[in-house]
Amino acid sequence: MLRISDARTGESVVAAPARRALTRVEAHAPGFGTTALRVVLVADVLVRALEIGGTPVWPVLAGAERVAELRAGATALGIRPFEDRGDVGTEPAQSRVIHVVSLGDRTADGVRLDVAPADSATDPGDIDPATLRLALLTRPRSEPVDLTPAALADAGSALAHWRRSVAGWARQPSRPVPEEVRQELRAAWEDDLDTPAVLDVLRRVETLDGLPDGARFETYAYADRILGLELTREIGSLT
C-alpha cells in the first residue's frame, strides 16, 4: 500500500483513496529549471506508483510559468503528459487530490508532497535527459540535490553500465523476478516514493549470487516501470 508523507501534518497517509477512486496528482512547478523539473518528476513517479497499484490517476500541471519550456524539458526526461490546470473541470465524487510542490510552497490546500531544490550550474537543456533523471532519483525528494559535474558524470556512467548489463542479460532465457526481490522493490517505492532504496535493490540484484541473468533482466525491467530510465533501450545493440 503506497503511503506518502503529508507536508501539512508530517503524518504518513495512504496515497490511494478508498475503493480505488480517481486520484488527481497536481504538479506545482516553480517556473522552469532543475527544481521545477524535479517537482514534475516526483509527480511522475507518484503517478507511476499509483497506476501500478491499480489506482486511476489524473495528472495535472498547475501554477507553472514558462510552460512550453517546462513541458519540453519534462518530455525529454520521459515524463508523461500532464494536463493544463486551466482545463480541469469538476472531478468525480470520492476523488482525491495530491499536490506536489517545491519546498516551502503552501499555496495548495490538501495533501501536499514537498520537493527540495535541485541546484545546477548547467542549463538543464545541456544535460543528457536520462542522466539528469537518474541524478534526481538518487536522493530522497525531501533532500536537496546538487547536480555537480561529478554527480552527473557518476549518474551517466551508472546508466550506461546498467543499460549494457540489461542488454547482455536479455540474451539469456527469461526468468521471473524473485518474489522477495519484487516485495523489496514494492516496499521501497510504496514507502514515500523512496527511489534511492529502489536503486539500492538494483545494485544488490546485479551481483546477487545464484540469480539467473534472465531474472536480473526481468527485475530491472520491472523496477523501470517506476524509474523510467529506459534501462532496456540497448537490447539488441551488443555484438
Task: Render pLDDT for 137-156 as a digit per residue (tens, 0 to 9).
Answer: 999 999 999 999 999 999 99
Predicted local distance difference test score (pLDDT) of residue 214: 97
pLDDT at 79 over 60: yes
Burial of 198 (0-12, 13-18, 19+ CB in 10 A): buried
pLDDT at 90 over 70: no
Q: In terms of pLDDT, which residue wins out, 195 or 123?
A: 195
pLDDT at 131 over 90: yes
Q: Kindly indicate the confidence band of residue 109, based on its pLDDT and cuts at 50, 70 and 90.
A: confident
Which runs of E-coded beta strand occur in the chain?
Answer: 3-5, 12-14, 23-28, 57-62, 83-84, 96-102, 111-115, 118-119, 145-146
Measured distance CA(217)–CA(58) in Å, rounded: 31
Asked whether 172 and 217 are in contact (CB, 8 A), the reply is yes
Measured distance CA(84)–CA(47) in Å, rounded: 16
pLDDT at 63 over 80: no
pTM of the model: 0.93
Beta-bridged to residue 3, according to DSSP, are: 14, 191
Measured distance CA(99)–CA(76) in Å, rounded: 23
Predicted local distance difference test score (pLDDT) of residue 43: 98
Predicted local distance difference test score (pLDDT) of residue 178: 96
Q: How far apart, in Å, do the first and last CA atoms of the chain sit?
A: 42
pLDDT at 94 over 70: no
| Cell numbers at 50, concatenated | 499509483
Q: Mapping DSSP to helix (H, G, I), strand (E, B) and coil, where does residue 76 land?
A: helix
Asked whether 141 and 116 are in contact (CB, 8 A), the reply is yes
Q: In terms of pLDDT, which residue wins out, 64 or 91?
A: 64
Predicted local distance difference test score (pLDDT) of residue 19: 60
Predicted local distance difference test score (pLDDT) of residue 84: 86
H or E element in which residue 179 lies: helix 179-189
Distances (CA, A) of 76 to 79, 131, 155, 213: 7, 11, 16, 30
